[in-house]
Amino acid sequence: MPGLERPAEAQNEETYRELENFLSVFERVRANYVEEVSDADLIRGAIEGMLSSLDPHSSYLTAADFATMRLSTDGEYGGLGLTVTNRDGAVFVIAPTEDTPADRAGIKAGDYITHIDDELLFGLSLDEAVAKMRGEPGTEVILTIVRPGRTEPFDVAVKREIIDLKPVKWEVDGDVGIININQFSAPTAEGVAAAIRGIDRAIGGDGPVGYVVDLRANPGGLLNQAVEVTDLFLDRGEIVSERGRDPADIDRFYATKGDLTGGKPVIVLIDAGSASASEIVAGALQDHRRAVVMGETSFGKGSVQTIIQTGETSALRLTTARYYTPSGRSVQAGGIEPDIVVPQLSDPDRLNRPRLREADLRRHLVAQAGVEDAVLEDDSAPDPRFLATPAELEEAGIEDFQLHYAIETLERLNRRPQRVASAR
């Protein structure tokens, strides 16, 4: 109707007013702040502030941030081997990377790092804190650790090393193949395929009775590697879908024919440190009933970040979609629930250790409704082995209860008598 303003025009006018307000603040800070500050610093701060009002995974990337991001996917660096985040201004350990200086020094998931060489970290940005941990290989750094359940902070001396980001390791235990995936970087799928072939050769004969795929403390990585790793265990079907703001904007990824394991039993181990690409693999194999998922609920990062170049040395890391498992589940903020909950009984601090998940992060995205499979209730008696103490497990020679339980489960499955149909 004439005389009525269209909603789009009203929105544009509101946007122009807000931009005018921004420019007014910019000019006042530029002219009156107690110290001179460059226009570039003010603009970068404004961009960072804008992105920080979104979800915790959207951010502004400088040239230094680009270099750090490349290290996480295909590089090596001098450092300690920690995956950390910022929690209420403090550095919080999500997980140490296996067989790195931090891991060997006994730093645990759930620890807080308060000082580096007696310098307080509280209030620093995460990038600033990480930069202080990295450095020349062979140099030593003193970390002050606050561990929930302990009354006093304590210091740990850690010597920096070249952190060679090897994403896949494998071994055999009896007739069981164990594939440990530490991250999803460029060579991960190739490494898992090589691990399957190596396990088959090492065991010989008919090969292993089954495989344990260990995704614990795996923070994720490249989507295409998660898809390719999952494809190694599937013959067909959807692996994951991405859905953006537009309901019609859906990308689907499918398995190709050929299960490299020949359909043998698979157990996937997850915990609170299993995130993103790890959850894609676990969720797809769980939905297709291709694997039994064991351990603890995963981290719950079900969002997709896109890198958008904005200048010669800068870019946006922007959350542009959520991903969904084949049955339509969004794991965002909820995570993957294991089919069989297996606590890590060999960890003496497990009851006091805080478990940071996506739902604990400020401004995390909420999950969108999806189609979910029914959850079968297990009304059987609890496994008596879950009552064992860390000391009892150590005496029995069990260093990793979750892995031990998975291996035993596969061996028990192999010992079950086969059902033989009889004609009447």
Residues with catalytic function: 276, 287, 301
Count the residues in the chain: 424
Alpha-carbon distance of 326 to 284, in angstroms, equals: 6
Amino acid code (one letter) for 98: E
148 vs 151, 153, 349, CA distance in Å? Answer: 8, 9, 8
Cross-strand partners of 115: 120, 144
Q: Which amino acid is at 111?
A: D
The dihedral through the CA atoms of 99, 188, 110, 53 has a sign that is positive
User: Residue 30 has which token pair?
Assistant: 């530029």
Tokens 């990308």 belong to 251
Residue found under tokens 């940005």: 125
Query: How far is Cα 325 from Cα 315, in angstroms, rounded to an integer?
Result: 29
Distance CA 267, CA 414 (A): 13
Measured over all CA atoms, what is the biggest interatomic distance in the chain, rounded to whole angstroms? 96
- DSSP class of residue 5 equals P
**Which DSSP letter does residue 322 get?**
E
Q: Can you tell me the distance from the alpha carbon of 402 to that of 270, in angstroms, rounded to the nearest whole number?
A: 9
Q: What 3-state DSSP class applies to 400?
A: coil
Tokens of 396: 């029995």
How buried is residue 24: exposed, middle or buried, by Cβ count under 10 Å (0-12/13-18/19+)?
exposed
Tokens representing residue 233 in the block = 């265990």
Q: Which sign does the torsion angle of CA 92, 96, 100, 101 carry?
A: positive
Lookup: tokens for 356:
């940071």
Closest C-alpha to 239, from 286, 192, 201, 309: 286
Phi, psi for 302 (deg, rounded to 5): -110, 35
> Would you say 84 and 95 are in contact if contact means Cβ atoms under 8 Å apart?
no
